[in-house]
Structure 1
Amino acid sequence: RAMFTSGMKESQQLCVNLPFLEASELEALISCTYSGSIQLNWGCVFEISCTALQLQFQHILSMCLSFLEKEMNAHSCLDVASFAEAYGMQELLETANEFVLRHFQNVATTPKFQDLPANKLRKYLKSNSLLVTSELVVFKAVAVWIEACPSKRLRFAKELMKSIFFPLMTHNEFKEVKTAKLWTQCNTKRLYQTILEDFHSYYIAPRTLCRVYQPKDSLVLVGGDQISADLSRQNPSQELWFGNSLKSYIGLVKNVEWRLLTEMPNPPRLSHDVAVLAEKLYVVGGQDYSGRLNVLKSVYRYDPIQNSWERLADLQEKRCNFSIVVFEGMLYAIGGDSDPETNLKSVESYCMNTDSWSFARPLDMTLSCHAATVLDGKIFISGGYHQRYRCLTSMFTYDPERGTIYLADMRQPRAYHCMETLHGHLYVAGGITLDEDKTSIDQLTCEVYDPVTDTWSAFTNLPIPHVGAASVVLEGMFYVLGGYFKDNYRETRLVHRYDPMLQFWENMEQKYVFHRNSALALQHCTAKADLVRSMYFHQMN
């Protein structure tokens, strides 16, 4: 339009040459102008994007950028990053770089990775968002890159190897380093000797040596309590802590770096639950402690963008030791205790538009200290206590309209446990169970439910008790944080995470911020900022 209406010379010409434009591209643009749609694939999207930029077809450009973000994969992400950098598209560049860092192991096996400039590879290796399963992955990536053009790239080897923390490797991993084809190249013998000495320095390496990974989703702990040494007093917390980074140290030692996010309004609380709706955090019910336990019905909403709290409508019934799930755009508060001797069968739903709680269809029985989560559009509820406070083995689905459908029982009774969705299954861990004398004891056994076959199977036992712990799934692993020991009420100041691929519980090290009966959340950050763009919170007991 500007070409023909702004007095440019082309407005006086009968024929205008567009040397940068292919006939097929022009045909696609004209067709899209009339139809509103365009067929995109990796063979044409960059060319059409460039043309749309030059001719200022904003609608078509938006569709191209959407394709690049949604269809990005290990083979295309580096091309997307280069394109975004060339045209100054900062948001797309951040998305592409984040994809590279989070899928580094797969990206490093592609032909495009071998064409990376040295400065870009160096930047990726030094990023605190680099996600790798071990230092061996980083070494193999560097070795492949150098071997693609050794005559020009061996000069970068020493500097790039500094980005690899060899003392963090196991002996089996370093055996693969030792046999790498890279050392057959000339002028690498001295470099290998330096790396070997670095690897054997693990026993004198500084405690600060670690691989720091700052995930886009961060763990958030909400409230909870600590118990006094003489077991006479509970001290509830108002604090919200977030896991700023995950760290891997020498050997098997790993931990989470915690930072204080904010504090919730009075009163401090425990045995509450949290959820997120429309990107805002809801803290619901629970107990406070002012000489005696007091069950709450108050509800607060936290806006992470404004860093502000808002008091909402109270629950219809005060409740603690309950579960909250987000289901079909509503919050559902399920069961719980209204006082130390009364548990509930009622269910309440919250409507955000009217700021009101209303009773939904009740459960078939009173229930508290259970676990609930959503999988494939269904609410699953496991274990807990019924009206006589007996530990249950039950597993069922709850629907606000159709009621409950009972499924296969768990292998063992449990309450105060954790349940999370992972890879289409439901993983259950921690809590308490009953011994042969019907006495409550710590539950170390773990089990996983397959909704397709309606069956339970065991997986690796927890190494120590986690009663009343918080839990979440992060980066494909099942985290269980804090809680206490049933036998002596001693606090469990540990994080354990379970990797379904390795079938192993990792100890993420002792941290002082863990409370009993706290809520755990996932905080989603767009640029690793302290304030949150959106959050995804998971149920706890």
Structure 2
Amino acid sequence: MTSIKRIRLSQYSADVMDTTDDDILMSPSSPHNGLTKSDDLGDMTFCMSNYAKEALKMMYMMRQHHMLTDCVLEVDNELFHVHKVVLSSASPYFKAMFTGGLKESEMSRVRLQGVCPSSMAKIITFMYTGRIHISEVTVCQLLPAATMFQVPNVIEACCAFLERQLDPTNAIGIANFAEQHGCTILKQKANQFIERHFTQICQEEEFLQLSAMQLVNLIRKDELNVQEEREVYNAVLKWVKYDEDNRYPKMEHILYAVRCQFLTPKFLKEQMKNCDVLKRVPACREYLAKIFKDLTLHKRPIVKERKPNTTRMIFVAGGYFQHSLDILEGYNVDDRTWTTLPKLTVPRSGLGAAFLKGTFYAVGGRNNAPGASYDSDWVDRYDPLSEQWRPCAPMSVPRNRVGVATMDDLLYAVGGSSGNEYHNSVEYYDPEQDRWFVIAPMRSKRLAVGVAVVNRLLYAIGGFDGENRLSSMECYHPENNEWTDMPAMRYPRSGAGVAVLNQYIYVVGGFDGTRQLSSVERFDTDNKVWETVTPMKTSRSALSVNVIDGKLYAMGGYDGTHFLSNVEVYNPSDDVWEDGVPLTSGRSGLASAVIYQPSCPQNYSQECTVAQNPTKRDYDDNRRLPPNNDGNNSSMNCNYSSNVYQNLRGSGSGSGNHDSNETEETNCDENEESPKKNKSTCIFTQMRERCRTRSRHLHPLQQQQMQQQKLNDINSNLEKVIRNHTKCKNPNASCSMQRLRRRFQYFLYNHIRHSDCQNKGNENNNT
């Protein structure tokens, strides 16, 4: 049973005057109560945690009844009775006014300018209660007022509110608004949003209203999240054409901020020939002509590629472990975690992979399923936004262990094999036409070839020609449509991992015909020489290599005995290999590619959905978080009350009580009539209507699900036809049937897509 300590009343009155803010209530039952055996009859200190809150409540009630108020604030003919000591404790502005020897310190009535009555009422209510209600209409007036009166808690609440409202329709306006009022963190958040959603933002009216200097500062950023530089170029053209007569003279200066070195020669040629704006500015045409010449001469760009400040992931597809795999996984480089993604449509190993315009492509490979082993000419594309796989036009021939790379917005498939036939053929895929085009063949047949692109030159490295492992390398010139020999590697190898970092082409591991290799070579494309670097810790072939943050990631493979799951990371600045986060399972013959998370409309449409629920838009405290669902904000108000009460003690003031019904704040909201809202210059005026408009349309995922259901129904009927009509004992029959099924499915998909487009067009015409 807890013993009760006896307090000597003779010392109580003296001790209570010496109480400090650091005093706490020490429980007699606590083993560390600060009392020794000799102090059993000593003094105790008590701290009432709710006292400051209750005192401010009483002050607020007294203000409502004009009790002991010593000042009247006049704002646009509206009067606010206040206590000077409360305002001084909550605002440095009022503290300087009432204690700095100014004439207002002697006045009982002070007139304020530059603030509206509703904002003044909200700020005064907050000073007494620590609670404030913020809406789309009031925030644009409340933040300037809070900045004027130097009330940091209200400023933080307004910034947190605006941060949650960020949308492509208002992000630029919020960034400018934050800059005007010195809200550094909000400005930073808004600018990050603009960078991540540039593709959507450049379609909005705010983007077209930017000044030339603002536009240049925006498109110069490395963090701009675009899939290709063409998006930035087109955005600049759109901005100029919005007011062409006044803006076209600025085109030359703005064009220098676009990284035109990463535009394709084909696109540059079309622009120089057809763009009306460029015809009015000869200097721009000359600038693009120079870049076009540098690209065709394969000079290294003098500017760096953009690095969006978004989530970076390595997609890993397929592979082999006892049989071909259909897995697709994503490795998040920032938080070092693996995520399972929708499976491949068909298991495959020895495939190639690449990202092109934000879409992941899985090319060729081999399906080593029991009883049905065949090489594939299939090509599938995966959209990370919709998380859906879609078929593409098949290649001209099946290609197992194919080399894949992207150049000039085209997807190249190099070498590979079909059964016992080894390919030297090469073809490229144009996603705009959904077609494959065969180009000049390589000088050597190459299975398990490594490919890389540097300065618009396609390199084919090593491989197996059916007899020998190769050390040779050849280079493809797209302008001449021809291959030329390049210096050979020091060691022959096939199944090596190949990646580009700066001007170097790294060739990692592989198989030399007798053993797996751990050695690593790199080719200096400037000096045309090979050199060796530190070998990997583990010998491996049939691995996959990628580059992120200036480091090489070597993943998976086969060491001659085991299928590997370990990952090694190479830092060229230290010339050291380190262990990375392993794959979820061991495999060889996998393919991988790097993606920067594309700008997803869902990221901000969800925020707009929240915007339609006013209960989640009310900030009832001085923190950057919305109120709790249970409405319990006592701890927040208590913290604010304690801070204010501490200032009151320093000023030598008294206490009061608070009426739970905040009458002035309620009256302020009621006085904001709807006509004023419509006339307001608030940056949110069109947001809710845009959100409602979005919700009226069928979601793209629902459209894709309906389309996929059509394909599934037709494909099931096709399966029945094949089972009923296939009576063939040829062992290659299953392979032929798989190809037939695949081609028929591809045909049906495009037929349905074309039909849907026609139906939409007819609906629009009827409307």
Instruction: Provide the residue aligned with 1:503 in structure 2.
Output: 575
Are the equivalent residues in 2 in contact too, given 1:429–1:445 (CA < 8 A)? Answer: yes
Counterparts of 1:27-426 in structure 2 under 5 Å? 59=208, 61=210, 63-71=212-220, 216-227=311-322, 234=323, 236-246=324-334, 256-265=336-345, 267-291=346-370, 293-339=373-419, 341-388=420-467, 390-400=468-478, 401-426=480-505
Deviations for 1:256-312, whole angstroms, at most 9, x for unmatched residues? 3211022121x2111011123332222111111222531011111222222222222
- CA distance 1:46–1:215, change in 2 (3 Å): closer
Are the equivalent residues in 2 in contact too, given 1:485–1:492 (CA < 8 A)? Answer: yes
Equivalent residue of 1:350, what SS? strand
- CA distance 1:268–1:530, change in 2 (3 Å): farther
For residue 328 of structure 1, report the CA deviation from its aligned partner: 2.0
1:516 equivalenced with 2:665 (yes/no): no
Deviations for 1:79-121, whole angstroms, at most 9, x for unmatched residues? xxxxxxxxxxxxxxxxxxxxxxxxxxxxxxxxxxxxxxxxxxx
Equivalent residue of 1:444, what SS? strand
Query: Number of matched residues?
Result: 319
Equivalent of 1:455, from 511, 516, 529?
Answer: 529
Residue type at the aligned position of 1:216: T
1:465 equivalenced with 2:539 (yes/no): yes
User: Structure 2 CA distance, aligned partners of 1:73 and 1:357?
Assistant: 33
- CA distance 1:46–1:509, change in 2 (3 Å): closer
User: Structure 1 CA distance, aligned partners of 2:600 and 2:409?
Assistant: 27
| TM-score, length-scaled by structure 2 | 0.39
- CA distance 1:499–1:295, change in 2 (3 Å): same
User: Structure 2 CA distance, aligned partners of 1:530 and 1:484?
Assistant: 40
Are the equivalent residues in 2 in contact too, given 1:426–1:449 (CA < 8 A)? Answer: yes
- CA distance 1:445–1:470, change in 2 (3 Å): same
Deviations for 1:198-227, whole angstroms, at most 9, x for unmatched residues? xxxxxxxxxxxxxxxx97311111111212
Gaps spanning 5+ residues in structure 1: where? 1-44, 75-213, 228-233, 248-255, 435-439, 532-541
User: Structure 2 CA distance, aligned partners of 1:321 and 1:530?
Assistant: 37
Instruction: Provide the residue aligned with 2:555 in structure 1.
Output: 481
- CA distance 1:451–1:46, change in 2 (3 Å): same
Bigger Cα Rg: 2
Are the equivalent residues in 2 in contact too, given 1:347–1:362 (CA < 8 A)? Answer: yes
Deviations for 1:488-529, whole angstroms, at most 9, x for unmatched residues? 2x1111000100111100011444334211111112125899
User: Structure 2 CA distance, aligned partners of 1:261 and 1:62?
Assistant: 42
Equivalent residue of 1:431, what SS? strand
User: Structure 2 CA distance, aligned partners of 1:218 and 1:309?
Assistant: 18
Are the equivalent residues in 2 in contact too, given 1:465–1:492 (CA < 8 A)? Answer: no
User: Structure 1 CA distance, aligned partners of 2:529 and 2:350?
Assistant: 30
Deviations for 1:423-466, whole angstroms, at most 9, x for unmatched residues? 211111111124xxxxx211111111111111011100111112
Instruction: Provide the residue aligned with 1:188 in structure 2.
Output: none
Deviations for 1:20-42, whole angstroms, at most 9, x for unmatched residues? xxxxxxxxxxxxxxxxxxxxxxx
Are the equivalent residues in 2 in contact too, given 1:365–1:387 (CA < 8 A)? Answer: no
Are the equivalent residues in 2 in contact too, given 1:481–1:496 (CA < 8 A)? Answer: yes
Residue type at the aligned position of 1:222: A
- CA distance 1:502–1:405, change in 2 (3 Å): same
Are the equivalent residues in 1 in contact too, given 2:503–2:526 (CA < 8 A)? Answer: no
1:494 equivalenced with 2:643 (yes/no): no
Gaps spanning 5+ residues in structure 2: where? 1-174, 182-204, 224-308, 604-767
- CA distance 1:530–1:450, change in 2 (3 Å): farther
Higher relative contact order (CA 8 A, sep 6+): 2
User: Structure 2 CA distance, aligned partners of 1:306 and 1:509?
Assistant: 27
Residue type at the aligned position of 1:260: T
User: Structure 1 CA distance, aligned partners of 2:595 and 2:585?
Assistant: 17
- CA distance 1:526–1:352, change in 2 (3 Å): closer
Give the structure with the higher percent helix.
2
User: Structure 2 CA distance, aligned partners of 1:481 and 1:73?
Assistant: 28
Residue type at the aligned position of 1:447: E
Q: Comparing 461-470 with 323-332, which one deviates more in the overlay?
A: 323-332
Residue type at the aligned position of 1:446: V
Residue type at the aligned position of 1:244: N
User: Structure 2 CA distance, aligned partners of 1:491 and 1:398?
Assistant: 33
For residue 50 of structure 1, report the CA deviation from its aligned partner: 5.8
Equivalent residue of 1:274, what SS? strand
User: Structure 2 CA distance, aligned partners of 1:522 and 1:530?
Assistant: 22
For residue 63 of structure 1, report the CA deviation from its aligned partner: 3.9
User: Structure 1 CA distance, aligned partners of 2:358 and 2:554?
Assistant: 24
